[in-house]
Structure formats: structure tokens, C-alpha cells
């Protein structure tokens, strides 16, 4: 399954770092105050992988400045 990395609106991002602890697999780090995502590397693409199961946009939800956007598909079971 392909998955896109989240994107950051640098005009809104303040570098507060709220997104970093929100990620269930530690795939976010701040570099010079800007979040950098390594979701593709962190995700094992396996049903047991916490990234695959629990990465349901926690970084976007955690951001107090609406700076992170996660793109997703809308599907039915």
C-alpha cells in the first residue's frame, strides 16, 4: 500500500514540536525547528506494525497550528 508523507505548511508551523511525541512510531524529528517525517522508513507495512495500525494522523491532530496535512484515501470495507 502506498502512503504519502505528511506535508507541513511552513507559514503556519512554529516549530513547537507537539507533533513529535504524538507519532506512535517516533517517525518525526525537528530539524532547525521544522518537523521532518520518516514515516516511510518507520512503517514495516505489516499488520503488526504500529505505524500501519495506529498511524491515523496523530501528528495532524496534535498540531495546534493546523500546519500538518495528511492525505488519505476514502475506501469502503
Q: Count of residues binding other proteins (CB under 8 A)?
A: 24
Under rule CB under 8 A, residue 48 binds other proteins: no
Query: 30: exposed, middle or buried (C-beta count within 10 Å: 0-12, 13-18, 19+)?
Result: middle
Distance of closest approach, residue 42 Cβ to other proteins, in angstroms: 10
Distance of closest approach, residue 19 Cβ to other proteins, in angstroms: 14
Give the C-alpha distances (Å, rounded to integers) separating 14 from 1, 25, 29.
32, 22, 14
Coil, strand or helix: which one is 66? coil
- The residues binding other proteins (CB under 8 A) are 1-4, 39, 43, 51-53, 55-57, 60-61, 66, 69-77
Amino acid at each position: 500500500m502506498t502512503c504519502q508523507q505528511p506535508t507541513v505548511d511552513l507559514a503556519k508551523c512554529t516549530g513547537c514540536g507537539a507533533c513529535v511525541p504524538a507519532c506512535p512510531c517516533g517517525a518525526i524529528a525537528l530539524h532547525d525547528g521544522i518537523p521532518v517525517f520518516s514515516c516511510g522508513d518507520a512503517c514495516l507495512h505489516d499488520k503488526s506494525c504500529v505505524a500501519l495500525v495506529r498511524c491515523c494522523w496523530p501528528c495532524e491532530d496534535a498540531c495546534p497550528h493546523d500546519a500538518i496535512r495528511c492525505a488519505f484515501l476514502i475506501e469502503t470495507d
